[in-house]
Copies of this chain bind each other. A is one copy, B any other.
Amino acid sequence: MTSSPPRAPARLDAITVLRALADPVRLDLVRQLSRSDSAIACGRFDTRVAKNTLSHHFKILREAGIIATHREGGQSLNVLRTDELDAAFPGLLTAVLSGSEG
């Protein structure tokens, strides 16, 4: 069985994006992606959250258009959709990540 292609919304919606970011686990995942030079496999995030719960969080981030996931070498690799986010909400990602630091 092949996995269905990751869904990304045609147009980023402010409320959906804010809701997706308004969670400590998801904000942490986004932060880790923002600090990484390359894609991060689902199993390689620094988190204590259970795999099932993590899948749920990835789904929310993906459906909000915040991350994109692709399959490569048997892994699901995640990247931030920085360009799309910056185009839709200039400065949002930087503001959220800088402000919630430390």
Contacts and interface: CB of A to CB of B under 8 A. Distances in A.
Given A21-B18, A24-B15, A99 B92 contact: yes
Say what secondary structure dominates the interface of chain A: helix
Given A14-B27, A22-B15, A95 B99 contact: no
29 contacts: A13-B100, A14-B27, A14-B96, A14-B99, A14-B100, A15-B23, A15-B27, A18-B18, A18-B22, A18-B27, A18-B96, A19-B19, A19-B22, A21-B22, A88-B99, A89-B95, A89-B96, A89-B98, A89-B99, A89-B100, A91-B91, A91-B92, A91-B94, A91-B95, A92-B92, A92-B95, A92-B96, A92-B99, A95-B95
